[in-house]
A and B are shown apart, each in its own frame.
Chain A
Amino acid sequence: MGFPILSVMLAVPLAAAIVCLFLKAPAARMLALAATLADLALGIVLWANYDIGGAQWQFTERADLFAGFQYALGIDGIALMLIVLSVFLMPICILASWEAIDKRVGEYMAAFLLMETLMIGVFCAQDLFLFYIMFEAGLIPMYLIIGVWGGANRIYASYKFFLYTLLGSVLMLIAMLWMVNVAGATSIPALMQYDFAPEAQTWLWLAFFASFAVKMPMWPAHTWLPDAHVQAPTAGSVILAGVLLKMGGYGFIRFSLPMFPEASAQFMWLIFGLSMAAVVITSLIALVQHDMKKLIAYSSVAHMAIVTAGLFAFNVQGLEGAMVMMLSHGLVSGALFLCVGVIYDRLHTREIDRYGGLSINMPMYALFFMVFTMASIGLPGTSGFVAEFISLVGVYEASSLATLVLTTGIILGAAYMLYLYWRVAFGVQKNADAAAMRDLTGREWLMLAPIAAAVLWMGVYPESFLAPIRKDIAALNARLARAAPAGDAKLAAGEPRSYPANAIAHEAAAAGEAE
């Protein structure tokens, strides 16, 4: 593979971002859309050319440009799926901002395109420090997006987002420096094979955990998320929920688990405990929200808790389920934020009580909203079902108690999502202005229809998404096997009975006497 496709995927949005800074609004919109569509096309080419079952790291590139670290790129199936998710959501984000953003459009599009470069960079970096640079740099455009184009309380939200995530990541940098000093390599594939001393792993794991738990976000470090989501513009929320949160999960799957298997096993109780708490607590909080975006933000925390539990279940189902959950949640929560954005653009409020009976005047909207609500709940046939089912099967093997608690999350999830849908789409049309809103425009169709198709595709035929990651998950599982804790749900084979289970009692007794 001579063509440096990953570098091109990084360069296209970056170049467009720089040009966008100097363009007027209409030109900036067109350029941003063209650049993201070009990256989507490249992403599809990447997927089509990815050799399933081939080498673990494909499309590798490497250049010794810097001192101390390398420009090294390459992807495995896990990174491929997340890159495809990112490039898929980006044009939709640009479309969502088409009319909603009317001030400083060039800068806005530049920030989004820079964000795209950095997201792809995070997933395809093969050097520890290159990863860190991309991972941290994402703070800059996101800070600007929330702060400049956000809602009324945007400044508080932008500070909180920036400082929370920065504090989480700086300790990870020290851990990385220590790892590189000990292992003598900055290459991620090499470090994934390196065995650190178990005592050191504990500290390293905690340092990485601080970063990824904030990014994920895991309860109780999640409080930045509802603020950031509520204040960010629609497209900002989509990218935040769709891709940025996945960086935490990607971090666990790429660093914490393969590099520190013993420590991961040691801290399984911590992850499970936090995940269980998160599912129940944030679902209950979601139930009482009046703000649509806040409700969906809390539901994100609950869904991410299922991801973390699945990741630390130490078996193939858990890992695969967590990956599917990340992809599914990226699509579904992104789509739900878009749905909120559609009606927010019309009425400029996120207050649930201001809406009602939208299925009467906006039938198409109500249909799409229902598809995504059902996918969020995990109705069979949608991606949410596949995700929740596989990950919970995995968690059950590790801990039946955790599964029990996590499953209540699905019930509560159905409760708050259906309650939301009922209040927004059904019932009487309370407000005249809400009743007068027009149905989806062509642009909004273009945003929602592809996501709905992807959600159904993943729900009906998840194999397309599981096939590329299968080998990588198996390799990861093999590496984790030496540390995997014994699950409490493994059936112990007892002594077989000497008589059939349906034998009638007295005959059995007679048979016994006869012997």
Chain B
Amino acid sequence: MGFAQSLYFTGAEVGLSLSGLVLLLVTAWTSHKAARAITVLAVAALFGAAIFTGVALWETSPVADAFGGLYRVDAFGSFAKVLIYLATIACLIVTPRFFAERGAYRGEYPVLMLFSAVGAGMMVSATDLMTLYIGLEMSSLSSYIFASFLKGDWRSNEAGLKYFILGALASGIILYGMSLVYGFAGTTNYAGIRVAFEASFPTGALFGMVFVLAGLAFKIAAVPFHMWTPDVYEGAPTPVTAFFASAPKVAAVGMLMRIAFGPFGGEAEAWRQIVIFASLASIVVGALGAIGQQNLKRLLAYSSINNIGFLLIGLAAATPAGAAGVAIYLAIYVPMTLGSFVALLMLRDREGRPLETFADISGLATTRPALAWCLMLLMFSLAGIPPLFGFWAKFVVFQAAVEADLVALAAIGIAASVIGAFYYIKFIKTMFFDDSARAPEERSPAGHWAVLALCVLAISPLAYLATPWLGAVADRAAASLFLFS
């Protein structure tokens, strides 16, 4: 395999890194006023990367290793990367206004977003523990900075610090697990680990695997490693929270899938019980924890924990159908969560202060009907009520679980989803049934509306027409995960 070909396979990452470096230089020599222009350029770079990667989704995508097995190009990687790039673009579109009004917008923000996207792309494409770790840290380090990007706001600083300390702890756990895995397998290459573990799987290796999975559970905010989520989501500036809930989460889930079906693919029976526990615990804790919340960002944080639980049901199935279910779930989850956060961003009173609690949004249906209807559709979709498309996400993972004979898991999970429905409909009740309390800002920028409209379109019943295509793409993505030798 030639070096040139390897570079071609990693074209998206290379292109994004180069644009990031160039834009970094531009930022260094221009004033803050150029930040918006840099954002536009960063969006353009991400868009280019998404198209470069996305072409693979339409044809039979090749499976090829680059750089001697450090990195793999396949349908799954392309699928996850397109989602990551699109989510990052959406976040970049809605971010500048929020920071600019607080006088805190800098050109570093879009540049860091680019690096974060590169790291996230590496996480889902890595086929070697070293590449994986570098991607993970690249994405995480950018995230720590984002969380504390509002330097003057103590909540933002606190969120950044919490995220950094707990994130570093999780990275340490992953690294420790990796060293154990390396010690017992004698290689950091996924294929090599799979071969070595299929020959023998000693207890030490099991420990290593459990540590790696625990660290990853932290990154995806699955119970019992979810404690940081509500605090960080609440404290971080809202556009940053929107980002945390979308792109890095896709990357972390993608990485988890690749590891679970790749190097640990032969040990599915060993990790399945961990995943089942994490899944049910996330569904229940995510649902119960959200009930008492008054802050909408905290509520959505618990909602994301809840959703991760449903995602993990697909992983627990440990079948290609389950993996495809997870891929479809991700594709639906990203617009749902992005749409909800963008709508939150658009909720401000006339002085521009954000409306963040239930009391603030009561009676929104009379003051901002269009926004309230969009939020209503998003909430019903998150609750998984048909005919909204969020139902389809749950449908495919539960179908995979039932086909894998995990009927009890599916039944308990779906019964617990009713608890979650309670706070989603509480959201709707506050907007539609209560009298209006505060007068929100009357107009929102077109960019926000565009992102929100696209997200709502993606979760509307019309999206069912896309199910054949989405299903086929997800099947190809899942199949490529299982090609592992």
Contacts and interface: CB of A to CB of B under 8 A. Distances in A.
Do the two chains bind? yes
B415 A137 contact: no
Contacts of B365: 104, 148
A147 B433 contact: yes
B417 interface: yes
A178 interface: yes
B433 A158 contact: yes
- For B411, B415, B465, which residue has the most chain A Cβ atoms within 10 angstroms? B411
Contact of A68 (B414, B417, B428, B471): B471
A167 B385 contact: no
Contacts of B373: 21
B403 interface: yes
Contacts of A67: 467-468, 470-472
A129 B392 CA distance: 11
A171 B414 contact: yes
A171 B468 contact: no
Contact of B385 (A68, A134, A140): A140
A130 to B, nearest CB: 10
Interface string A297-319: 00000000000000000000000
Contact of A66 (B407, B417, B422, B467): B467
A192 interface: no
Contacts of B421: 162-163, 166
Interface string A154-180: 110011001100110011011001100
A65 B464 contact: yes
B192 interface: no
Given A67-B467, A147-B429, A177-B398, A137 B386 contact: yes
Interface hub of A134, A143, A174 (most chain B Cβ within 10 A)? A174
A166 B418 contact: yes
Contact of A171 (B415, B467, B472): B415
B465 A174 contact: no
A178 B432 CA distance: 37
A120 B425 CA distance: 25
A105 to B, nearest CB: 13
B468 A177 contact: no
A144 interface: yes
A133 B471 contact: no
Sorting the interface of chain B by its residue count into under 10, 10 to 19, 20 to 34 or 35 or more gives 35 or more
A173 B366 CA distance: 35
Interface in B361-418: 365-366, 373, 380, 385-387, 391, 395-396, 398-399, 402-403, 407, 410-411, 414-415, 417-418
Interface residues of A, number: 33
B468 A174 contact: no
A177 B385 contact: no
B196 to A, nearest CB: 36
Contacts of A66: 464-465, 467-468
A498 interface: no
A166 B387 CA distance: 14
A159 B414 contact: no
Contacts of B402: 174, 177-178, 181
Interface in A88-134: 104, 129, 132-134
A65 B414 contact: no
A84 to B, nearest CB: 24
A472 interface: no
Nearest to A143: B425
A144 to B, nearest CB: 6
Interface string A135-146: 011011001100
Given A68-B399, A136-B386, A177-B398, A162 B425 contact: yes
Given A167-B418, A170-B415, 17 more contacts: A65-B464, A68-B467, A104-B365, A132-B386, A134-B386, A134-B387, A144-B428, A144-B432, A148-B433, A154-B433, A163-B421, A170-B417, A170-B418, A174-B398, A174-B402, A177-B399, A178-B402
Closest 9 CB pairs of A and B: A67-B471, A133-B386, A67-B467, A177-B402, A147-B433, A170-B414, A67-B468, A167-B418, A137-B387
Interface of A: 21, 65-68, 104, 129, 132-134, 136-137, 139-140, 143-144, 147-148, 154-155, 158-159, 162-163, 166-167, 170-171, 173-174, 177-178, 181
